[in-house]
Amino acid sequence: MTVHFPFQNSYSALPDSFFARVAPTPVAAPRLIKLNRSLALQLGLDPDLLETPEGAAILAGKTVPEGADPIAMAYAGHQFGHFVPQLGDGRAILLGEVIDKDGVRRDIQLKGSGPTPFSRRGDGRAALGPVLREYIVSEAMFALGIPTTRSLAAVITGEHVIRETALPGAVLTRVAASHIRVGTFQFFAARRDTEAVRRLADHVIVRHYPELRDVERPYHALLAGVVARQANLVARWLLVGFIHGVMNTDNSSISGETIDYGPCAFMDAYNPSQVFSSIDEMGRYAYANQPRIALWNLTRLAECLLPLFSDEQEKAVADAQDILGGFSDQFSAAYQAGLRRKVGLFTERDGDEALIQDLLDAMAKNQADFTLTFRKLGDAAFDDSADARAQFMEPAAFDEWAGRWRARIALEQQGATGRQAAMHAVNPMFIPRNHRVEAVIQAAVNDDNYAPFEELVKVLAKPFEDQPAYAAYADPPLPDQRVLQTFCGT
């Protein structure tokens, strides 16, 4: 039996300027590290066959499956605010698209599969550490219910990649609603190729926003649609303490998924100005800056779409500003609604927003663990405040706030059981803590030991369940375990 991928490729049918046709570069000795069996089934693929040597060879880019039309996608992008007119898939190759069990078209892409015409000075390869990190964090995000690309498989190539030292090479199979980015639009807009921008917009509407196909002003509606999804996405990030780390326009997805897990991280102690990425020296992509940056990226998208809005530039700009003006309210609505759920409020009253902000302020001042404070607040709904207050350097700060919170929840019908259950359903017990991710990577890279990786992935698949046997995974790092910086590792 051979592995069958039911490809139905649409992107590679677009004009030649959209991509470069290029096959993955064969590797020495592929070995499957991890297959996401449930995702394989969801994609209509046979997990047993993918686990054979033939399957591993495909997932490593050593053989190209039938029906694939391998391409590297063209895109541009603002990196840390500086425009680069040509980036493109320098180390990723789109094998093709399949329609999943829910009827959703999904890209299957190999990341780390060798050089492409967009590689510039890069080697087209990925190291094992960043591949495992992306696998862990993207699947954790999925389990948290946050829109994200997913990870189908990780293989090691049997070759070394040279970074600061020689590291084991690996390939990640990434699955996405699409890999179309703000930077994809920028690629054509920078070349003043309005027809290509229109082609791309039409493709995106059919694929990601089919409900807009017959509206009066589809390109305006497209911008509004991306604004709405990004506003919601960034709110979801903040509500779990996620920091993307490299919100460049080429890492900003048009479908509204989280994409490109580089130096991303979840914060432990709550700190709005938290930055982990070693390359983000100015804190451009700090935790609390993410909504502002999302809007900045969307503004770059709007600039690309202006020629489709109107021939009169002033009119087009006014329309775009109008649509972008909606971002802030949409973000706030999603963020505030999420915060209300996190603190167990079912109704809305004056003063709620200030009450919640007071908690966040106290958390910041007391270096309270973001995840555990909210998780344990669910138990405090039962008068069991010990674990919640223990998160605060000065527990009195929690007590003062909790008194006001109790008075507030007493005004609601909901009893303690329902409140605790509702809070536990939105406040995870388990997030991919940086020190855990690092430990897993060290075991794999240094000792070829994947048992810690397997266990972490398993725990993170059920983030809202208590899982007492794995309670230690919920713990914040001890002072000497703290990860202060994360690296792209590209």
Return the active site residues: 250
Report in angstroms how near the CB of residue 156 gets to ligand AMP at its nearest. Answer: 16
Stretch that binds ligand AMP, among 36-44, 84-92, 219-227, 356-364 (CB under 6 A): 84-92
Neighbours of 476 (CB within 10 A): 18
Residue among 260, 268, 280, 319 that touches Mg ion (CB under 5 A): 260
> Is 257 an interacting residue with respect to Mg ion (CB under 5 A)?
no
Q: Which listed option, ligand AMP, Mg ion, none, makes contact with residue 153 (CB within 5 to 8 Å by class)? A: none
CB 247 to ligand AMP: min, Å: 10
Q: Does 488 bind ligand AMP (CB under 6 A)?
A: yes
User: Would you state the structure tokens that stand for residue 159, as one six-digit string?
Assistant: 């070759």
| Residue selected from 122, 283, 325, 415 as contacting ligand AMP according to rule CB under 6 A | 122
Contact flag: residue 130 with ligand AMP (CB under 6 A): no
Q: Please tell me whether residue 88 adopts helix, strand or coil conformation.
A: coil
**Helix orientation angle between 352-365 and 395-409, rounded to the nearest 10 degrees:** 160
User: If binding is defined by CB under 6 A, does position 89 make contact with ligand AMP?
Assistant: yes
| CB nearer to Mg ion: pick between 42 and 251 | 251
DSSP per position, 366-421: TT-BHHHHHHHHHHHTTT--HHHHTTSSSHHHHHHHHHHHHHHHTTSS--HHHHHH
Residue 285, SS3 per DSSP: coil
449/480 Cα distance (integer angstroms)? 23
**Alpha-helical segments (H) within 192-344:** 194-208, 218-240, 290-309, 313-324, 327-342
| Residue 301 burial class via C-beta count within 10 angstroms: exposed 0-12, middle 13-18, buried 19 and up | buried
Tell me the window of 212-220, 258-266, 274-282, 475-483 that interacts with Mg ion (CB under 5 A).
Answer: 258-266
Contact set for Mg ion, span 234-253 (CB under 5 A): 251
Q: Is 353 helix (H, G, I), strand (E, B) or coil?
A: helix
Instruction: Give the nearer residue to ligand AMP in terms of CB position, either 70 or 88.
Output: 88
**Minimal distance in Å, beta carbon 13 to ligand AMP?**
22
Kindly state whether residue 190 participates in binding ligand AMP, applying the rule CB under 6 A. Answer: no
Of 76, 69, 89, 74, the closest CA to residue 8 belongs to: 69
Give the nearest distance from C-beta 249 to ligand AMP in angstroms.
Answer: 11
Interface pick for ligand AMP out of 9, 36, 42, 251 (rule CB under 6 A): 251
Q: Is 64 in the site for ligand AMP (CB under 6 A)?
A: no
For the chain, first and last CA: distance in Å?
36
Per the listing, tokens 């589809």 go with 218
The β-bridge partners of 160 are: 168
89 touches which of Mg ion, ligand AMP, none (CB within 5 to 8 A by kind)? Answer: ligand AMP
Pair 98, 44: CB distance under 8 Å: yes
Q: Is 472 helix (H, G, I), strand (E, B) or coil?
A: helix
Q: From the CB of residue 219, how many other CB atoms can be counted at a distance below 10 Å?
A: 22
How far is CA 275 from its chain centroid?
16
Minimal distance in Å, beta carbon 36 to ligand AMP? 21
Report if residue 186 touches Mg ion, rule: CB under 5 A.
no
Which of 78, 106, 125, 284 is the binder for ligand AMP (CB under 6 A)? 125
262 binds ligand AMP per the rule CB under 6 A: yes
Q: Which range touches ligand AMP (CB under 6 A), out of 61-69, 122-130, 202-210, 373-381?
A: 122-130
Residue closer to ligand AMP by CB (options 40, 93) is 93
- Identify residue 114 by its one-letter amino acid code: G
Bridge partner residues of 71 (DSSP): 21, 94
Q: Find the shortest distance in angstroms from Cβ 246 to ligand AMP.
A: 6
Q: Tell me which of 47, 67, 90, 158 binds ligand AMP, using CB under 6 A.
A: 90
According to CB under 6 A, which one of 55, 88, 114, 263 is a site residue for ligand AMP?
A: 88
Instruction: Kindly state the smallest distance separating residue 251's Cβ from Mg ion, in Å.
Output: 4
What part of residues 229-248 is at the interface with ligand AMP (CB under 6 A)? 246
Please check whether residue 254 is in contact with residue 205, taking contact to mean a CB–CB distance below 8 angstroms.
no
> Is 375 among the residues that bind ligand AMP (CB under 6 A)?
no
For position 81 contacting ligand AMP by CB under 6 A, the verdict is: no
- Tokens, residue 441: 């990577």
Cα–Cα distance between 339 and 232 in angstroms, integer?
13
Which residues contact ligand AMP by CB under 6 A? 87-91, 118-119, 122-125, 246, 251, 260, 262, 488, 490
Positions in the binding site for Mg ion (CB under 5 A): 251, 260
